[in-house]
Structure 1
Amino acid sequence: MALEDSKKGFKGFTGFQIKILALIFMLFDHIHYFFEFTGKIPVAFSWIGRLAGDMFLFTMIEGYTHTSNRKKYFTRIYLMSVFMTLIKYIIQFSKPLQRGDGFCPENGIFSTFVILIIIFKGIDYIKEKKFFKGIGLTLSPFLISYAIAFIFQLLIIPNMSMDTANHIYVIVSSFIPSPFLVEGGLYVILTGIILYLFRENRKLQCIFFTIFILTWMIGMPLMYIRPISLKLMFTDYYEWMSVFAVIFMFLYNGEKGKSMKKLFYIFYPAHIYILYGLSVLIYYLKY
């Protein structure tokens, strides 16, 4: 009787609950990411963390779809993208800020979200039969990235030192993220497009998400990694475990839940820099 009551009482996960779970999973993942060098953090931490990225991607799409002001939504994400990208490059170009083994944090999912939101807007235009505008906007992140690379090859690199050219490129890419350089790259971008295209049909969304993840994350190692084994799929090539995020997507009840807009915007960069700082300190004390 109690079991039946609990089943009746469970109404799925709200968007807020999925975000909180994703934050917890992400924390496990980043503990492994920053402290793997100690040899004390089990790889299982990263297994758990595989779910976080796609859960955040899912909630970002839901947030973008239902927000009352998409411009403000995009602006918040864009400003966080610029801030974190600049911090990342400051660390990369400042030897004293790097960990003793040369490790630097590469985290910057906001930049990937910036690219995706631009593509989402393009998809919306295409659905409205504004094909020229929609296709142009959808392709714009890629075309702009190629244009910037072409300009650098033609005008910047031949006339400046490589260090100066690199610094200029860093500044440009901080404000204009490239789909080829953002966290997750084309894989996350394609995942986001699939989730967005099928957002109005949860079953199809989950089915196509699952097919894509397994095809990419299991198919790629099977095709290109030699030798490959079942053990390696759990020790080295375990990105396929992100497929389990589909459980939370399927159980999403469509409700926003509690409103804590600033939670992710604060927690994401804060925990990265705190964990990185601790890893630098531990490395210094250990080595």
Structure 2
Amino acid sequence: MKIKFGINGSTLKIIAVLTMLIDHIGAVILNNLLHFSNGIQIHDSIFWGYQICRAIGRSAFPIFCFLLVEGFLHTHNVKKYAERLLLFAFISEIPFDLAVSRTICDMESQNVFFTLFIGLLVLIGFRTLEQRVAGRILTMGYIIILLLGIVVSILLYTDYSLFGIVSIAVLYLYRNCKQQQIFIGACSFLWEPFALLGFIPIAFYNHERGIKLKYFFYFFYPVHLLILYGISIYI
């Protein structure tokens, strides 16, 4: 079997997970150390380490948004896909709150699985419309569904909130032209300049699945948050 040049889906997922891990090391561990560091030099070193980790980590979310769109386009059962996202959104909420807010329950901040779940519902709405209407009615339908997704993300205080929903929608709507998808997708992340780096590996995506990592991210997300929280408490 001939292997296409570029980056396959599993490699993209690994890149996203690693950059997310670096981001969370900064957000959970180094951010905690900043509050307890003694001495100017120590504080400055931790501060710059924190800034570098957060900058590297910004590239993770656009890759996850892209992978969500790809998953939606190629899944054989979108209902089960949505159910998995929602299940792990609830499973991940306590680890997320502990790591980010140091409380078991923080209603003012919900983990990224909720963002991805709402984004998937928006895509389901888009596809349903596409099968029934066209022209101006389709455009108006896109806008209404997108606005509903944005409102829900804002009300739930999901990670990345409305920016995440808009980016997922954009990556889907321009799926048929890779150049436009990358350009418009990158434009939707101009509010977070370092996130634009995530579109470099996306540009090299070769549409191959790679090794099977179906549940890797689902379990990695809550587990690594708990581990980082534990480390931050210990140090």
Query: Do the structures match in fold with TM over 0.5?
Result: yes
Equivalent residue, structure 2, for 1:207: 183
- The alignment status of 1:19 with 2:13, answered yes or no, reads yes
How far off is 1:104 after superposition? 11
State the Cα deviation string for residues 244-274 of structure 1 (Å, max 9, x = none): 1111111100111111111101111100111
Mapped to 1, the partners of 2:209 and 2:22 lie a distance apart of 25
Greater relative contact order (Cα 8 A, min sep 6): structure 1 or 2?
2
Q: 1:193 to 1:137 in 2, by over 3 A?
A: closer
Q: 1:208 to 1:253 in 2, by over 3 A?
A: same
- The alignment status of 1:126 with 2:120, answered yes or no, reads no
Equivalent residue, structure 2, for 1:65: 73
How far off is 1:188 after superposition? 1.0
State the Cα deviation string for residues 89-144 of structure 1 (Å, max 9, x = none): 6x59xx9x649xxx999561100011111111111122223469x5675554467x
Q: Which of residues 202, 208, 214 is equivalent to 1:249? A: 202
Name the larger-Rg structure.
1
Mapped to 2, the partners of 1:51 and 1:142 lie a distance apart of 22
- Secondary structure of 1:79's match? helix
TM-score (norm 2): 0.79
Q: 1:88 to 1:17 in 2, by over 3 A?
A: closer
Q: 1:28 to 1:48 in 2, by over 3 A?
A: same
- Secondary structure of 1:252's match? coil
Equivalent residue, structure 2, for 1:112: 115
Look up the equivalent residue of 1:32 and give its one-letter code.
Answer: G
Mapped to 2, the partners of 1:183 and 1:208 lie a distance apart of 21
How far off is 1:281 after superposition? 2.0
Look up the equivalent residue of 1:79 and give its one-letter code.
Answer: L
Structure 2 unaligned regions, length at least 5: 35-45
Structure 1 unaligned regions, length at least 5: 1-8, 146-176, 218-238, 283-287
The alignment of Structure 1 onto Structure 2 pairs a total of residues equal to: 212
> Does the Cα contact within 8 Å between 1:121 and 1:137 map onto a contact in 2?
no
Q: 1:129 to 1:255 in 2, by over 3 A?
A: same
- Secondary structure of 2:60's match? helix
TM-score (norm 1): 0.65
> Does the Cα contact within 8 Å between 2:146 and 2:169 map onto a contact in 1?
no
Give the RMSD, CA atoms, in angstroms.
Answer: 3.1
1:1-287 correspondence to structure 2 within 5 Å: 11-35=5-29, 36-39=31-34, 40=46, 41-85=49-93, 91=98, 98=103, 106=109, 108-130=111-133, 138-141=146-149, 145=152, 181-214=157-190, 217=191, 239-282=192-235
Runs (4+) of structure 1 exceeding 4 A deviation are 86-89, 103-107, 134-143, 177-180
State the Cα deviation string for residues 63-110 of structure 1 (Å, max 9, x = none): 111011111111000111122235556x59xx9x649xxx99956110
The range that moved more, 108-117 or 204-213, is 204-213
> Does the Cα contact within 8 Å between 2:23 and 2:58 map onto a contact in 1?
yes
